[in-house]
Structure 1
Amino acid sequence: MVSSTHVGRYREIAEVLARHGLGFLSGITGLERWFPFHHGVLGHEPRGMPYTNPEHLRLAFEQLGPMFIKLGQLLSTRSDLLPPEYLQELARLQDGAPPVPVETVRRLVQQELGDVPEELFAGFDGEPLASASIGQAHAAILKDGTRVVVKVRRPGVVARIQEDLEILQNLAAQAARRWEAADDDDLTGLAEEFARTLRAELDYLQEGRNAERFAGNFAGDPDIHIPRVFWRTTTSRVLTLERISGVKIDDLEGLDRAGIDRRPLAGRAVAAIA
């Protein structure tokens, strides 16, 4: 049964898929009931949008918001589910979003921590370091001079993601009934596991506990450093972490400029995963 509170979102998802010529997904998941066939739900290439099918899928996920962006990022790692051209395109999904106004950030920090950032920290940069679909990161300095990053969860993001996760699980169940391949690949199980993982990501307290557990696991390894969590300024919606600098492992030019030998770096990364 479809919750009446989700009707508008079902229609929005169906419309975005149809706009990008992905109406076949509506047929597989039962979304076709929410969108008339004369609007192109059968999956024809939308006029004036000369993209490849993988590009259309990426663009649709971007337009549908945080949960779908996270889903696309996950799918980009699943060569057992999608062909290479889709994996490459979905890997381009960026978890970016327009910045939350600094006044909104100040108000949220005050609600969570009891005071405005300027009183809690020796310094707090209102210009975000990064603005993602779930949270926004700001550079700050603790009263003892420690450089930190303060992550603030976006207002309203939990309700939207929770709604989309419910919808995703419903669509996966429909797909398993209508499409043999979906049942074979256990899409319902994948959707449930994805939902558990993403719900955990919404809780910064759990993220902090995970960071401390990783730090404990690698306490004796000089090659791995996990940022310290500062619990006095951490809640489920605000997370304060030690600020560290570095180079992304896929930034080959940056690694070369820093004089980092990639071969031993790859070896250390493999050893850490193993």
Structure 2
Amino acid sequence: MKKEAYNLRRGIDDAQRLREIVSVLFEAGFERQLQDINLCRLVPLPRRLVCGLRAAQAGPAVSVEVRFRKACEQLGPTFVKFGQMLALRPDVVGEDAAAEFAKLQERAAPVPYADVLAALEEQLGGGVKTFFRSVSPRPIASASMAQVHRAVTHDGKHIVLKVQRPGIRAEVTRDLHLLALLARLLERALPAARNYQPVDIVRTFSEWTLRELDFTVEAGHVERFRADFAEEPRMHVPAVHWDYTRPGLLALDEVSGIRLGQLKRLRSTKVNRKETAAFVMEAFLHQFFVTGFFHGDPHPGNLLVAPGGGIVLYDFGIMGYLPSALRYELVSAFQAYLRRDMEAFVKHVLDMSTLAPEADVVGFSAEVRKHVDAVVYRPSSHKGLPHAYYKIIVSGGRHGVRFPTDLVLFAKALLTIETVLQKLDPKINLDASMAPLFDQLTMARLDPRSWLPETREEALEFVRKLPLIPERTSALLKRMEEGNFSVRLDLDELKVLMEEFDRENDLRILAIVAAAILVASALVLASPGVLPWGSVFGKMGLLAAAVMLLGVFLQARHKPA
């Protein structure tokens, strides 16, 4: 009974939240889209009338992108996150929309300290004083889903605690269900919306957001990143304190430094900005092309210059991964770009994509060349390969050329890093700096020793499947004996096979007849005392047989299209 009451209450809450979402979107000017999916009736009549009056008195039109951004801000954390995710998919929403959605900020009013303590106790399973000497009541950062407080452990370590806002998981989960509902309705009612893949986008967003709500996932990202740079003393990554880390609580070393975006402060220090830029470039190229595991949001606010030198990197909520096959394809594509081999470059770019049924490959290829020419023949613009590649990825959506999400994230991160580097060292040339690394990676790939792990895995896979062969062969033979074996053929393929069979049968008969005439003619000519006319018939038979056999030979060599 309690469960039924809970489900009923949850259903009522969901319905009320759906009405709120629809009303906000209606007021933002998305009335036509809501009518198409039959949801306008959820907006109270007085509200519809007021919106109609406002529309009649409205001034200059506001763009769709601005209206959607403001609606997301009004609808709260889940929709702010959704807009931010769309900002990372310019290939889907377009470059202008992505730039507008990037303005969405996660700042939120701080949660009262008493609620923070309650959340800490719930996550830790005990009193805060049991685990920490002190927890600062003043947050150092406050966002829509979590806020950060300084703390000191009983052994004197200074750490930071990222505490999930109370009730945020239930709120986000509810909104994700409703977003999925809206996406399904859009895709069903509006054929044009299918080009934007709303269902797939919301599914990806839901998976990403639910992972982000589990802070142990972010902690795992930090640990993996630390392992990738364990031999690099210039890279500082805060350590995870697993004793205190939970799904709703992340405990990290406190880090300090000057943000890379604070150029005035950097100029007042002894930091060598040229050397710093060179290391940042080296570190991110290592992530992109060597390990494949990369920081997906490397804006200047997430990069600090450490007091003793080196770089501090934090905020590992958005991470990307490029598998080895994709990295090799990227290296090959970028090498083709650097040697100005546009045919090879376009081929490699397309090999990294999937094509929609209506894909315009010719139009996309032309746009690739346009974006490359825009940076190659305008050296004064300080734009290089990252800018061109980002533009290419963005243009793919317009032509039905779709790229993996992590590849889009990579393009965005690479462009961001190029911008950061140029602010630190305006003379840095990322294109020229990448070439030696690509050559090194290509030579390493050609080394037979690099094939051993893959070869070993394939051999082990074969050995694992070898014992299954007799069993599966026996099962196949049994099905054939029982008459349960069937072969599927395409009707067109079957028609071609039948025509070929008939042709070969005709040739076979013709060859037999020709051979018979040949033998008979030879016997006639070889017989003693043959009449003169018999000799003529024998020679004519030989000639006819030769012509027929020549025809059989030529027909056999000719394959029908």
Quickly name the TM-score band, shorter chain normalised.
0.7 to 0.9
Residue 109 (structure 2) aligns with: 98
Q: Does 1:32 align with 2:43?
A: no
Q: Does 1:272 align with 2:287?
A: yes
Q: 1:234 to 1:268 in 2, by over 3 A?
A: closer
Q: State the distance in 2 between where 1:61 and 1:257 align.
A: 40
Residue 128 (structure 2) aligns with: 117
Aligned pairs for 1:20-59 (under 5 A) are 20-27=28-35, 29-35=37-43, 36=45, 37-40=48-51, 44=55, 47=58, 52-59=63-70
* CA deviation string 1:71-125 (max 9, x = no partner): 1111112222224332222111111111111011112212322444344223321
Residue 317 (structure 2) aligns with: none
Greater shift after overlay, 92-101 or 229-238?
229-238
When normalised by structure 1's length, the TM-score is 0.86
Residue 153 (structure 1) aligns with: 164
* CA deviation string 1:143-163 (max 9, x = no partner): 222221111111111111001
Identity across the alignment (%): 31
* Conservation of the 8 A alpha-carbon contact between 1:72 and 1:90: yes
Q: State the distance in 1 between where 2:61 and 2:72 align.
A: 17
When normalised by structure 2's length, the TM-score is 0.44
Q: 1:82 to 1:39 in 2, by over 3 A?
A: farther
Secondary structure in 2 matching 1:232 = coil
Q: 1:252 to 1:51 in 2, by over 3 A?
A: farther
Residue 231 (structure 2) aligns with: 220
Aligned pairs for 1:53-68 (under 5 A) are 53-68=64-79
Residue 79 (structure 1) aligns with: 90
Q: 1:214 to 1:96 in 2, by over 3 A?
A: same
Q: State the distance in 2 between where 1:91 and 1:67 align.
A: 15
Q: 1:179 to 1:24 in 2, by over 3 A?
A: same
Aligned pairs for 1:249-264 (under 5 A) are 249-253=260-264, 256=267, 259=271, 260-261=273-274, 263-264=277-278
Displacement of 1:25: 4.2
Q: Of 176, 186, 196, which residue of structure 1 is paired with 2:207?
A: 196
Paired residue type of 1:154: R
CA RMSD of aligned residues (A): 2.9
Higher relative contact order (CA 8 A, sep 6+): 1
Greater shift after overlay, 160-169 or 5-14?
5-14
Paired residue type of 1:272: Q
* CA deviation string 1:168-203 (max 9, x = no partner): 111111111122232233221111111011011111
Residue 70 (structure 1) aligns with: 81
* Conservation of the 8 A alpha-carbon contact between 1:21 and 1:46: no
Unpaired stretches in structure 2, ≥5 consecutive residues: 1-10, 290-561
Secondary structure in 2 matching 1:122 = strand
User: Highest CA radius of gyration, 1 or 2?
Assistant: 2
Q: State the distance in 2 between where 1:27 and 1:253 align.
A: 52
How many residues were matched structurally?
A: 272
Displacement of 1:59: 1.7
Q: Does 1:185 align with 2:196?
A: yes
Q: State the distance in 2 between where 1:210 and 1:84 align.
A: 29
* Conservation of the 8 A alpha-carbon contact between 1:29 and 1:175: yes
Q: 1:26 to 1:237 in 2, by over 3 A?
A: same
* Conservation of the 8 A alpha-carbon contact between 1:30 and 1:171: no
Displacement of 1:29: 4.9
* Conservation of the 8 A alpha-carbon contact between 1:139 and 1:147: yes
Q: State the distance in 1 between where 2:59 and 2:140 align.
A: 36
Q: 1:250 to 1:195 in 2, by over 3 A?
A: farther
Displacement of 1:141: 1.7
Q: Of 1, 6, 30, which residue of structure 1 is paired with 2:14?
A: 6
* CA deviation string 1:221-266 (max 9, x = no partner): 4443332111211222222111112444555555555543374234
Secondary structure in 2 matching 1:127 = coil
Q: State the distance in 2 between where 1:256 and 1:179 align.
A: 54
Moved over 4 A (4+): 43-52, 247-258
Secondary structure in 2 matching 1:233 = coil
Q: State the distance in 2 between where 1:144 and 1:182 align.
A: 57
Q: State the distance in 1 between where 2:225 and 2:57 align.
A: 47
* Conservation of the 8 A alpha-carbon contact between 1:20 and 1:56: yes
Q: 1:28 to 1:86 in 2, by over 3 A?
A: farther
